Amino acid sequence: MRPAAVAAVAIVSGVLGGTAALLTAVATGVVEGGATTTVRTVAVQPGPTQDDATAAPAAVRSAAKPLAGNAFEPARIYAARSRGVVTIYSLFGEHGETGSAGQGSGFVVSARGDILTNAHVITTAGEEEQASKVRGASQVYVQFEDGERVPAKILGWDLFDDVGVIRVDPALHRLTPVPLGDSARVVVGEPVAAIGSPFDEQNSLAVGVVSATRRSIAALTSGYRLIDAIQIDAPINRGNSGGPLFDARGRVVGINAQIKSRSGNAEGVGFAVPINAAKRSLRQLLEDGQVEYAYVGIQTDDLTPALARRLDYGARRGALVVQVTDNGPAQKAGLRGGSDTVELNGRTYRTGGDIVVAIDGRPVASGGDLLRIVSQRLEPGQRATFSVLRDGKRLNVPVLLSERPLDLPS
């Protein structure tokens, strides 16, 4: 565990042991210049609908059916799904060297042995200063509900969405894949059930409700801002990382990943990676062994109606371009960052830059919208049209997107 910066609240990764047990650091957010202090750890992003971008790969679609009815019955969910939830043990250190160990959770998603978990469960993410230096565990073992333990192979990981994929030999143990749901349909107030191994207490059940959706959280596994986390009040703790979050019909809607806490233990604010984001990661990792995200190279803030009125902008909503990264796609395309500052309602905004209001015709009402479109709808090498407001005029700026670098450019 590397030294952490001082923060008012800790966000704790749900890994038990020597690999990223606790990390506390001030988060810079999607943009700089805000006065809000938050803290970091793990999170994600789903697509808005269950389309090709969020559907599970055909090879890992479970034969398990959603539970009948809409009543929330935790005992029924546990009885039907707990056999598909596993405990994961990761060992770090080569050739007999003394190393660290971590314990997390995971769940079976295919009959051929594919298991979803968090990237920080099976890698050194969270311990390394740079994402490019993250390495996988030297040994990974999976323990099933009946106590049987088998070796597993790491297939890959996605540090941007904190998703990891491992595989076990189906000949070594009977597998019970769990069905994947649609996290875009999750609503605030609906009941959820988390199954995992907090503090190595295997296959434990916790229940609660969805407290919020579309949360933007600083990530443990990379320097980028991750969006659309599902906030829950179900008590999850160290060791729950990588475990499934089920809806009332026993479908996985998220991967439990972190808690926000002053004590280091559950205090009713947990976060899960939306399963739609995990499906995207899973598909790319199974096909290519790696993931790719489109990259623009800008920092943004939200244009609010109050700020628009103050500055007499021609739009009420949009994404303010605060800063443009040197030699990035945005700079090469001619997008402009802010040059002035404005104080409004206790906040400082960097203004004077372009205001993005649409990308390829899709409306952009915030910095989060911009990130969703770029990361979920576009690909590296694609040319996208950014519709921006500049000096009172609307311009269409073509931007040739590149691949997002692992390390956040300085």
Torsion of CA 370, 273, 232, 299, to 10 degrees: -30
Q: Cβ contacts of residue 96 below 8 Å, gap of 6+?
A: none
Catalytic option among 13, 120, 261, 302: 120
Catalytic (active site) residue 62: no
* Catalytic annotation, pick one of 162, 233, 247, 301: 162
| pLDDT on residue 138 | 96
Neighbouring CB atoms inside 10 A of 409's CB total 11
Give residue 395's pLDDT. 98
Size of the chain in residues = 410
Catalytic residue among 13, 105, 110, 241: 241
- In angstroms, rounded to a whole number, what is the distance separating the alpha carbons of residues 163 and 282? 8
**Which one has a higher pLDDT value, 228 or 42?**
228
**Tens digit of pLDDT for each residue in 109-151?**
999 999 999 999 999 998 888 999 999 999 999 999 999 999 9
pLDDT at 46: 33
Q: Which band of pLDDT confidence, cut at 50, 70 and 90, is reported for residue 54?
A: low
Distance of CA 10 to the CA centre of its chain: 18
Chain mean pLDDT for the chain: 86
Mean pLDDT, rounded, for 217-236: 89
The band of 58, judged by pLDDT with boundaries at 50, 70 and 90, is low
Percent of the chain whose predicted confidence (pLDDT) is above 70: 84
Widest Cα–Cα separation across the chain:
67
* pLDDT digits 0-9 by tens, 360-371: 999 999 999 999
DSSP letter assigned to residue 189: T
pTM of the complete model? 0.85
Rounded distance, CA 261 to CA 280, Å? 29
pLDDT in the model for residue 408:
87
Q: How far, in Å, CA of 32 to CA of 369, rounded?
A: 17
Q: Is the pLDDT of residue 372 over 70?
A: yes
The encoded tokens of residue 104 equal 């997390």
Catalytic site residue 120?
yes
pLDDT at 6: 27
How many CA within 13 A on the CB side of residue 192?
A: 35
The Cβ of residue 250 has, within 10 Å, a number of other Cβ atoms equal to 24
Dist CA 281 CA 162 (whole Å): 9
**pLDDT band per the 50, 70, 90 thresholds, residue 62:** low
pLDDT of residue 280: 95
CA–CA separation, 361 vs 265, rounded Å?
45
Residue scoring higher pLDDT (161 or 98):
161
Distance of CA 89 to the CA centre of its chain: 21
Q: Please confirm, yes or no, whether 173 is among the known catalytic residues.
A: no
Q: Are 196 and 236 in contact (CB under 8 A)?
A: yes
Q: Which residue has the higher pLDDT, 23 or 367?
A: 367
Listed in order, strand segments (DSSP E) in 83-132 are: 85-91, 101-108, 114-117
> Residue 24: pLDDT above 60?
no
SS (H, E, C) 279-315: HHHHHHHHHHCCCCCEECCEEEEEECHHHHHHHCCCC
All structural domains of the chain, each given as residue ranges with its CATH number in brackets, are: 1-290 (2.40.10.120), 294-403 (2.30.42.10)
Chain-centre distance of CA 135, in angstroms?
A: 19
Reported as a pLDDT band with limits 50, 70 and 90, residue 379 is very high
Which whole number is the average pLDDT over 193-213?
97
Q: Which residue has tokens 């875009």?
A: 184
Closest CA to 371 of 271, 320, 296, 305: 296
